[in-house]
Structure 1
Amino acid sequence: MDIILVPGLWLDASSWDPVLGPLRAAGHAPHPLTMPGVGEPAASSADVGIADWVDAVVTAIDETAGDVVLVGHSGGGNVVWGAVDARPDRVARAVFVDTVPPPDGSGISEFEVVDGVIPFPGWDFFPDEDVRDLDAQTRARTAPEALSVPARVPTDPIALGDERRYDVPATLLMGALTQEELEGYLAQWGAYGDEYRRIRDAEVVRIGSGHWPQYSVPDRLAELLVAAIR
């Protein structure tokens, strides 16, 4: 199976390196992506928005011969769901890594813009539950690898319009939350809960990690990805 791997904000294709070997060993063909404008100055990335990221994934889908699995980490989940909406007949499964499918018109989040781009804010920016399992060595190694993001991408609204997206099976690999806990939160999240409940085949699996399992528990993440891709 062709597997298109979409990183979250500030990450590039190399962030998926820890899971590529196990995916290949399981007989899959992983395709990790670096999204448009990542690491580029405002002069060349100011016009890049979330639609361009979705288009990059759609292009990757169109370059394959058969059905694909899409995997999105964090903000990459918005991108994946946009690509599912664009190519619902080509996606065998969507996998969300510590994130949920967004409703139409929603953005990822807001971050400070510096010199026309959004730089990585540093590991101390994030709440403890997100980074508690990243030790000092991992933080020191990965922070220099984090790249700036085009300013528009996190706040651009995702455009969704094809209800066939709800027919695509979805696996939500959540860092700390069980299915019961996640669905309890989603019941309070308005349109996000509505979007999730409309997916006809959705499963939630707890990773047992913070927000960056590819760094903290890569073997566990790889195992769960292989199990989800069926």
Structure 2
Amino acid sequence: MSTYVLIHGGLGGAWCWDKVVPLLEERGHRVVAPDLPGHGRDTTPVSEVTMEAYVNCVCNVLDAQPEPVILVGHSMGGAIITQAAEYRPDRIKTLVYLAAFLPQNGEFTGGIDDTESLLRPNVVMSDDGSYITFRDEILKEACYADCSDEDVARAKSLMCPQATLPNITPVVTTEANFGRVPRVYITTLRDRALSPYVQKQMYTALPCRVISMDTSHSPMFSTPGELVDILVSL
């Protein structure tokens, strides 16, 4: 039995893992999928959502587990698990990046250029600059191209505004801490949110064991069984 901690991405919540959690539990594993601050059922105001708040949330979850965990981050969640690994390397058995940002020391998600992403040109910024959303009409093609209409509608109904500050906050990592945690990158070959080209740039710069899925950005919706097969094989 392993313990999996599943960290959602931008605009998301623990609900992103609703198909994955029961499949992992059916195989006898422990699963924790928290809502990050300002997401899902968490009521933190968007003005108070920072990278530090995200990482503290994850570290608190890690500290509460009886054993080192398999820590999975989707999309923006990759930056969060990267920083958490710097602070808690001994609490993590394996880092898993699922269609995720994998920033190097000093990088931040908003500074990783992806000219093939459909999200970047469709950002809608709040008047005060504190949060972003995306144009509704591109969300399916960008993030959920191979997902059912029902899953897309549910995701849209549960999405929340994404605080901008975490996306402009650099990660600070060292080889002595983050660098010693084993890394796996699950690359999504039909991704229009975080392009396979940029995914490859990141997992080449910080080498990982690489596993490919022929999916869009959200295999936890479209192919949860295949994703769980991969996770339990790690």
When normalised by structure 2's length, the TM-score is 0.80
Distance 1:43 1:212, change over 3 A: closer
Contact 2:69-2:92 at 8 Å conserved across structures: yes
Partner of 1:113: 125
CA distance in 2, matches of 1:158, 1:127: 29
| Residue pairs, 1:1-230, within 5 angstroms | 1-38=2-39, 44-109=45-110, 111-116=123-128, 117-122=130-135, 124-125=137-138, 128=141, 130-161=143-174, 163-176=176-189, 185-186=200-201, 193-194=204-205, 196-197=206-207, 202-228=208-234
**Aligned partner of 1:24: which letter?**
E
Deviations 1:9-40 (A, max 9, x none): 01111111101112112221110011112269
Structure 2 SS opposite 1:89 = helix
**Secondary structure in 1 matching 2:18:** helix
Shift in Å, 1:43: 8.9
Instruction: Output one character per residue of 1:115-141: Cα deviation in whole Å (capped at 9) or x when no partner.
Output: 554353145345946543134443223
Residue type of the alignment partner of 2:147: L
**CA–CA distance in 2 between the matches of 1:122 and 1:68?**
36
Alpha-carbon separation, structure 2, partners of 1:184 and 1:125: 20
Taking the aligned partners of 1:74 and 1:9, their CA distance within structure 2 comes to 7
Q: What is the SS of the residue equivalent to 1:85?
A: helix
Aligned pair in 2 of structure 1 residues 60, 98: CA closer, same or farther (>3 Å)? same
Is the Cα–Cα contact under 8 Å of residues 49 and 166 in structure 2 kept in the other structure? yes
TM, length-normalised to structure 1? 0.81
Rounded to whole Å, the distance in 1 between the matches of 2:189 and 2:142 is 8
- Pair 1:28–1:122, CA change in 2 (3 A): farther
Which letter maps to 1:4?
V
Cα gap change, 1:123 to 1:206, in 2 (>3 Å): farther
Number of matched residues? 216
Deviations 1:77-117 (A, max 9, x none): 10011111111112100011012421122222274431554
Q: Do the aligned residues in 1 keep the contact of 2:38 with 2:44 (CA within 8 Å)?
A: no
Following superposition, the deviation at residue 208 of structure 1 comes to 1.1
Query: Taking every aligned residue pair, what percent have the same amino acid on both sides?
Result: 22
Unaligned segments of structure 2, at least 5 residues = 111-119, 191-195
- Give yes or no for contact 1:54–1:80 (8 Å, CA) kept in 2: yes
- Deviation string for 1:172-200 (max 9, x for gaps)? 111118xxx869942xx6xx743x13xxx
Counterpart Cα distance in 2 of 1:72 and 1:82: 11
Query: 1:161 deviation in Å?
Result: 3.4
